[in-house]
Amino acid sequence: MAEKKEYKVIGTRPIRHDGVDKVTGRAIYGGDFQITGLLHGRVLRSPHAHARIVSIDTSRAEAHPGVKGVVTAQDLPTAADKMADLGEGAVNLKYLCDNILASDKALYKGHAIAAVAATNPHIAEEACELIEVEYELLPPVLEVRQAMEPDAPILHDNLRTSSLGETGDKPSNVASHFQHKKGDIDKGFDEADIIIEREFVTGTVHQGYIEPHNATALYNPDGQLTVWCSTQGAFTVREQLAEILQYPISKIKVVPLEIGGGFGGKINVYVKPLAALLAKKTGKPVKVLMNRADVFEGTGPTPASYITIKMGATNDGKITAAQTSLFFEAGAYPGSPVGAGAMCVFAPYNIENAQIDGYDIVVNKPKTAPYRAPGATNAAFGTETVVDEIAEKLNIDPLEIRLMNGAKEGDRRADGPVYPRIGFIETLEAAKEHPHYGSPNGKKYHGRGIASGFWFNIGLESSVTINVNPDGTVNLVEGSTDIGGTRASIAMQAAEVLGISAESVNPTVVDTNSIGYTAVTGGSRTTYATGYAAYEAAQDVVKQMKERAAKLWDVDEDNIQFADGEFSSINGKEEQISFKDLSARLGETGGPVIGRATMNPAGAGGAFATHVVDVEVDVDTGKVEILRYTATQDAGKAIHPSYVEGQIQGGVVQGIGWALNEEYIYNDDGAMTNASFLDYRMPTCLDLPMIDAVIVEVPNPGHPYGVRGVGEVPIIPPPAAIANAIYDAVGIRMTELPMSPDRLLKAMGKI
Amino acid sequence: MARKSHVQTTINGETVEFLCEPRQSLLEVLRDELHLTGAKEGCNNGNCGACSVILDGRLVNSCLVLGAEIDGKSVETIEGLADPEKLHPIQDAFLENAALQCGICTPGFIMSAKALLDKNPNPTEHEVRYWLAGNLCRCTGYDKIVRAVLDAASAT
Amino acid sequence: MQAFEYIDAKTVSEAVALLDEKGDKARILAGGTDLIVQAREGRRELDWMIDIKSIPDVNVLDFDSDTGLTLGAAVPCYKIYADDAICNAYPGLVDATKIIGGTAIQGRAGVGGNLCNASPAADCIPPLIVLNATCAIVGPNGQREISVEDFCTGPGQTALGQGEILVSLKIPTPQQNSSSYYLRFIPRNEMDIAVVGAGASVVLDADKQRIVSARIALGAVAPTPLFAGEASALLTDKEISDDAIDEAAQAAQAIARPISDMRGTAEQRTHLVGVLTRRALNGAIQRVKDTA
């Protein structure tokens, strides 16, 4: 259904609807929320990475002047060991509750133990220090290979490995093992003239959103719980609260305020149930804010991993076989994104014979959370480095080998799905034609690298209603929290249908009582799925407005057409009325018009990206400077190209940070030693050049305008692209992330 | 608890009085006492710039200033930047360039950019990047922010 | 954050008297960019913050080509690099003031505070050492002066006694054909703490071919910033050459006794001492050569 056509609104670059509020400081983010009688909550966290909790004495804290309430795991409803369906996957309820407040064991440094509400945040902090916790220290295990050792410390006595349908018979840190197979892997390697097998290690990294987690909760005497917060999904917060608090969904209202970044990290709840528990205990509204160390130590980073990749190719460059084992840290509780990593690891290539094994392993770190294309960046670091090495050994240009093997419509991914129309090849061609790729690259210690990436994107549920105003504008009501300009990208799709300007649509993100169920802003789904719902809701408006025009002109509805913002009669009477003029006559033709749509679209379409990077290596210090960066990406159809470019540029820079410096650094006791923005080194603007974002448009057949999600795939290629560029510059293959100066110095033999 | 100090200061051109504990930072005073929540807390230790304000003409991190210290001084915050009917050119440039995504860092970047352009109306790209290095943005990759500041410079 | 009292001292003697009376639980507040964070994170217990920024003596910024620089202890970094005469005379110190924190930090943080915080990685201290800076200290028993080299006694520890405050720093007028340079290694390009810092000052002969004398100081490789005396002495009356500079760099490496932490490993730091010492010396020499 999607084809190249001319649009009036789509593809233009209007000012975003929430822009003025955000440049004037008026936009209200979760932490900005104020309410009469507000108390302030703070959280006591475990100083130990692994410890049994022997006792918790809160009496001194409760007696501290200004303290109004203290909660511990004892205040959570009994956590039965049952499964609950919670947004992105099923989560074991005990694990879910224990991650909010540790009951029997503290499983990572930063694990919440208790929370205090007081008249001001400083008093709440003081009271946290007065809580006496007796711990029995246990040895921590911090790395997947160590966690798999037979004598490794065990995190969960009741955890048995679930492997290919079988359940293990003794406690293990390996929560699960799965496998995907395609073709005949042995035959594939037999056909290969060259086989490259490498091991890769990636560090634990954090989403690094600038706004810490926050929540304000209020219980009314009638049992109604209201939570104001920053979240990627108000409805998933409602579900998680209902499960954790064992409280009816009908009594919970979640009000999403503006959100200061998430990247997957603001789907899981942390302080929201604590605010609710404290609000219940005190009878007052309670605001709980994290500080930056809490964010690093107490919320889900994305996992470190150990990855083996083996790929074989014929001398003419055809990849005949690919095999990988992906060992991902789950953190303290099962549930790493290894499954998503497995879906993406070989996805850019059409490989006849493949085998993928995935392992989900618990370690004494915070429970991991999604981070922008979760699992795919780790996996692509391995694959794309090995592909580069094959190309080098076979003396084939690295773009050419990708063009030769690149996946196309009809090819089957190793984990099963068959591709619809996709645009991988087009991203490669765009990179090849870009002046960057043709520019000279010969200076000493300068190098160029390329890498590609795939992310599958998701659909899920979205709801939109559209109210028509008498002046020909519309109010669009949606449930997708706007984390990067989606009010605009959703509104523009409705505007295109209605033949009105983007500015004539007023989008509002509302609470869980005011719109139909809408899944998280995540999985690169919002412009795709909620935009699709906006398209359908606008079509519903058009349909109803046609009825009104028919009534006005006393003709059959089938005789009304709508084009270019004008309703007209196509048979008999020559009548015409603009959308605006008809909007003014809704009262007399039957009352207000409200368009509505709910969706769960299945055709998200995959997104591909190819990146080219030039680096300079300081061989005396091991420091890598990014000199030039070009990212090509299939966006399907860019609704608002500026924000598509912004997603690409932002994803690239997060990938650069992951590649070069970002990691959780631990001491021997299992404590993170760099839990600050000073020492968790995210890129500043002085570390970067401009990022040239090249939008390729291969329309997604699963969306009326051809939209593909764009948010996640750009983070995937940078680590591999930079590793390949470093190799080009100094002849060293880096296989560990981050490729920090000390690691590079070591690899070059300088230290 | 220490006695609260009485502080008289000028904020965005208006005389303001407040009481604060000595341990309350200027950021806390702005947000919790004066309800000027445009300055944000990202790290509370001077490493992200989300709380940037201009104190007596000089850019500072308001999380690293005590509320008690600003008696008799003058503070400019994001709330004071626009005229009632007209945005400041830097604010316009941020909107035109799509230089924000989530927007949490935006007030800090705009105040930082204002301090730069007040001092150096025609900065180079490198000067902009050097000046803004104390402001972290995790969404944009900085490209559009740097362009917005350069655009604002050429517009004024 | 812990509760404390705030006092805005108006004179040096008032600050000294308060500090003497309150003892260990009182701290001097200048730029606050270290102290406020330490108090907030519970790393420094205190009951009193004595703000000295209203005291005229600690705000002096006076450069005289005959007597040198008097730099009040509370002068923030940005005022230093805004002064062209100071930039010309003490470029090594200016290098440091431009890289401490970001621009917002430089609006508050000063050289005096950087010294009194006594971090082994403090960026200002190596250049102060190579520039032969001295500290003017006032305490209950009057005034005294000590060299910056002797000021830091351990991480966060200084030679200041009970009730003593640093009022100002004094740096002699630079000699003819001399210059200075400071650089640090950080993984990012800003907003980081030095993994290693190196400062150098050199005096060249009239032809700018020979080193008359040199001073080298190192940061972040020992409990305090170090003056590399032997390395410096090796360059006295030496022809400028890569060999001479390498020899000094090796001697500097020999005195480094770094630790491994989240900012860098010991072996990385020792290696970087060599790299940065070479770059600092070459940088200082180049500056002399670039001066007409």
For each of the domains in chain B, give its residue range(s) and CATH number, in order of start.
Answer: 5-80 (3.10.20.30), 89-155 (1.10.150.120)
Instruction: For residues C19 and C52, give the distance between their C-alpha atoms in angstroms, rounded to a whole number.
Output: 11
CA distance B8 to chain A (A): 22
Instruction: Please choose, from the candidates A112, A120, A115, A114, the residue with its C-alpha nearest in 3D space to the C-alpha of residue A40.
Output: A120
- In CATH, the architecture of C56-171 is 2-Layer Sandwich (3.30)
Mean pLDDT of B27-50: 97
pLDDT digits (tens, 9 = 90+) for A188-221: 999 999 999 999 999 999 999 999 999 999 999 9
Instruction: For residues A559 and A549, give the distance between their C-alpha atoms in angstroms, rounded to a whole number.
Output: 10
Residue A247 is assigned to a structural domain of this protein: yes
Q: What is the CATH number of the domain that holds A238?
A: 3.90.1170.50
- Helix extents (H) in A509-640: 531-553, 579-583
pLDDT digits (tens, 9 = 90+) for C58-92: 999 999 999 999 999 999 999 999 999 999 999 99
Tell me the three state secondary structure of residue B81: coil
User: What does the domain layout of chain C look like in residue ranges?
Assistant: 5-51, 56-171, 178-290
pLDDT digits (tens, 9 = 90+) for C252-287: 999 999 999 999 999 999 999 999 999 999 999 999
Cα dihedral sign, A415-A419-A425-A426: negative
In this predicted structure, the answer to whether residue C157 has a pLDDT above a threshold of 80 is yes
Instruction: For residues A208 and A681, give the distance between their C-alpha atoms in angstroms, rounded to a whole number.
Output: 10
A250, exposed or middle or buried, with CB in 10 Å at 0-12, 13-18, 19+? exposed
Restricting to C residues 34-73, those with a Cβ less than 8 Å away from any Cβ of B are: 36-37, 39-41, 49, 51, 53
> Do B31 and A28 count as a contact with CB atoms less than 8 A apart?
no
pLDDT digits (tens, 9 = 90+) for A529-552: 999 999 999 999 999 999 999 999
Q: What is the pLDDT of residue A4?
A: 54
Instruction: Please choose, from the candidates A412, A578, A486, the residue with its C-alpha nearest in 3D space to the C-alpha of residue A259.
Output: A486
Cα-to-chain-centroid distance, residue A473: 33
> Do B133 and C102 count as a contact with CB atoms less than 8 A apart?
yes
Q: Residue A492: give the domain boundaries.
A: 19-27+459-599
> Do B102 and A207 count as a contact with CB atoms less than 8 A apart?
no
In this predicted structure, the answer to whether residue B2 has a pLDDT above a threshold of 90 is no
> Do C262 and A674 count as a contact with CB atoms less than 8 A apart?
yes
Mean pLDDT of chain A: 96
CA distance C40 to chain A (A): 10
CB pairs below 8 Å between A and B: how many? 185
Residue of A620, A625, A664, A687 to mutate, interface with C, max C Cβ within 10 Å: A620
Residue A155 is assigned to a structural domain of this protein: no
- Residues A408, A343: one domain? yes
DSSP 8-state code for residue A417: P
- Residues A223, A270: one domain? yes
CA distance C100 to chain B (A): 10
pLDDT digits (tens, 9 = 90+) for A352-399: 999 999 999 999 999 999 999 999 999 999 999 999 999 999 999 999
Mean pLDDT of C92-97: 98
Using a CB–CB cutoff of 8 Å, tell me whether B119 touches chain A. Answer: no
Cα-to-chain-centroid distance, residue A591: 42
Residues of C in contact with A681 (CB under 8 A): 187-188, 192
In this predicted structure, the answer to whether residue A593 has a pLDDT above a threshold of 90 is yes
Distance, first Cα to last Cα, chain C: 53
DSSP 8-state code for residue B29: I
Residue A158 is assigned to a structural domain of this protein: no
Residue A378 is assigned to a structural domain of this protein: yes
- Residues A49, A115: one domain? yes
Q: What is the pLDDT of residue A78?
A: 64
As a three-state string, the secondary structure of C163-182 is CCEEEEEEECCCCCCEEEEE
Q: What is the pLDDT of residue A185?
A: 98
Tell me the three state secondary structure of residue C214: strand
- Residues A413, A443: one domain? yes
Instruction: Please choose, from the candidates A694, A689, A680, the residue with its C-alpha nearest in 3D space to the C-alpha of residue A653.
Output: A689
Q: What is the pLDDT of residue B83?
A: 94
Instruction: For residues A394 and A406, give the distance between their C-alpha atoms in angstroms, rounded to a whole number.
Output: 17
Mean pLDDT of A45-65: 98
Cα dihedral C78, C79, C83, C88, rounded to 10, equals: -60
pLDDT digits (tens, 9 = 90+) for A122-145: 999 999 999 999 999 999 999 999
**What's the CATH number of domain C5-51, 1.10.150.130, 3.30.70.260, 3.90.1200.10, 3.30.43.10?**
3.30.43.10
CB neighbour list of residue A705: distance below 8 Å, 6 or more residues apart: A2, A7, A10, A493, A496, A531, A535, A637, A639, A699
A134, exposed or middle or buried, with CB in 10 Å at 0-12, 13-18, 19+? exposed
At B74, list the tokens: 């003058």
Residue B93's identity, in one-letter code, is A
Mean pLDDT of A169-195: 98
At A25, list the tokens: 């400081």
Between helices C266-290 and C242-255, what is the axis angle to 10°? 140
Residues of C in contact with B115 (CB under 8 A): 103
CB pairs below 8 Å between B and C: how many? 92
Contact A210, A380 (CB under 8 A): no
Of C189, C263, C275, the CB nearest to A679: C263
Residues of C in contact with A665 (CB under 8 A): 262
Beta bridge partners of C226: C218
Decide which of A543, A575, A599 is a domain's last residue.
Answer: A599
Please tell me the CATH superfamily of domain C178-290, with its number: CO dehydrogenase flavoprotein, C-terminal domain (3.30.390.50)
Residue A223 is assigned to a structural domain of this protein: yes
Of A13, A485, A685, the CB nearest to B142: A685
Q: What is the pLDDT of residue A337?
A: 97
Residues of C in contact with A679 (CB under 8 A): 193, 262-263
Instruction: Please choose, from the candidates A303, A307, A348, the residue with its C-alpha nearest in 3D space to the C-alpha of residue A329.
Output: A303
Restricting to A residues 184-213, those with a Cβ less than 8 Å away from any Cβ of B are: 207-212
Instruction: For residues A738 and A717, give the distance between their C-alpha atoms in angstroms, rounded to a whole number.
Output: 14
Sheet holding C68-72, edge to edge: C61-64, C68-72, C165-171, C134-139, C142-147
Residue C41: CB atoms within 10 A of its CB come to 14
Number of domains in chain A: 3
Contact B133, A678 (CB under 8 A): no
At A536, list the tokens: 């359908």
- Residues A239, A288: one domain? yes
Beta bridge partners of B6: B19
> Do C104 and B65 count as a contact with CB atoms less than 8 A apart?
no
Q: What is the CATH number of the domain that holds A727?
A: 3.30.365.10
| DSSP, residue by residue, A103-149 | SSEE-STT-EEEEEEESSHHHHHHHHHH-EEEEEE-----SHHHHTS
- Residues A614, A586: one domain? no
In this predicted structure, the answer to whether residue A3 has a pLDDT above a threshold of 70 is no
Mean pLDDT of chain C: 97
pLDDT digits (tens, 9 = 90+) for A24-34: 999 999 999 99
In this predicted structure, the answer to whether residue B156 has a pLDDT above a threshold of 80 is no
Per-residue confidence at C10, pLDDT binned at 50, 70, 90? very high
Q: What is the pLDDT of residue A92?
A: 76
Q: What is the pLDDT of residue C13?
A: 97
Residue A408 is assigned to a structural domain of this protein: yes
Cα dihedral sign, A147-A150-A155-A161: positive
Q: What is the pLDDT of residue A1?
A: 42
Instruction: Please choose, from the candidates C255, C245, C268, the residue with its C-alpha nearest in 3D space to the C-alpha of residue A621.
Output: C268
Residue A592 is assigned to a structural domain of this protein: yes
Q: What is the pLDDT of residue A87?
A: 40
What number of residues does chain C have?
A: 292
Instruction: For residues C190 and A555, give the distance between their C-alpha atoms in angstroms, rounded to a whole number.
Output: 70
Instruction: For residues A487 and A646, give the distance between their C-alpha atoms in angstroms, rounded to a whole number.
Output: 15
Cα dihedral A78, A84, A90, A91, rounded to 10, equals: -10
- Residues A657, A585: one domain? no
C66, exposed or middle or buried, with CB in 10 Å at 0-12, 13-18, 19+? exposed
Instruction: For residues A268 and A295, give the distance between their C-alpha atoms in angstroms, rounded to a whole number.
Output: 13
Residue A78's identity, in one-letter code, is T
Question: Which phi and psi (to 5°) does residue A725 adopt?
Answer: -70, -40
Instruction: For residues C71 and A238, give the distance between their C-alpha atoms in angstroms, rounded to a whole number.
Output: 58
To which H or E segment does residue A400 belong? helix A398-405
- Residues A416, A445: one domain? yes
At A643, list the tokens: 């924000």
B84, exposed or middle or buried, with CB in 10 Å at 0-12, 13-18, 19+? exposed
Sheet holding A132-137, edge to edge: A105-106, A51-57, A132-137
Decide which of A244, A276, A298 is a domain's last residue.
Answer: A298
- Helix extents (H) in chain C: 12-22, 35-40, 77-81, 84-89, 91-97, 103-106, 111-117, 125-130, 229-234, 242-255, 266-290
Give chains near A: 3+ CB pairs under 8 A: B, C
Residue A656's identity, in one-letter code, is I
Instruction: For residues B131 and A92, give the distance between their C-alpha atoms in angstroms, rounded to a whole number.
Output: 48
Task: Give the pairing of strands A160-163 and A174-182.
Answer: parallel
Q: Which residues of A touch C (CB under 8 A)?
A: 122, 125-126, 620-623, 660-661, 665, 673-674, 677-679, 681, 683-684, 686-687, 740-742, 745, 750-751
Per-residue confidence at A572, pLDDT binned at 50, 70, 90? low
- Residues A277, A340: one domain? no
pLDDT digits (tens, 9 = 90+) for A71-126: 999 999 865 444 445 443 444 788 999 999 999 999 999 999 999 999 999 999 99
Tell me the three state secondary structure of residue A657: helix
- Residues A712, A624: one domain? yes
Q: What is the pLDDT of residue A571?
A: 74
What number of residues does chain B have?
A: 156
> Do A685 and B110 count as a contact with CB atoms less than 8 A apart?
no
Q: What is the pLDDT of residue A570?
A: 86
Give the CA distances from residue C278 to residues A173, C52, C183, C234, C240, in Å, rounded to whole numbers and listed in that order: 50, 39, 11, 13, 12
Mean pLDDT of C121-126: 98
Contact C273, C196 (CB under 8 A): yes
Angle at A422 between CA A455 and CA A517, to 5 degrees: 55
- Residues A401, A476: one domain? no
Residue A175 is assigned to a structural domain of this protein: no
Contact B54, B61 (CB under 8 A): no
Decide which of A580, A599, A618 is a domain's last residue.
Answer: A599
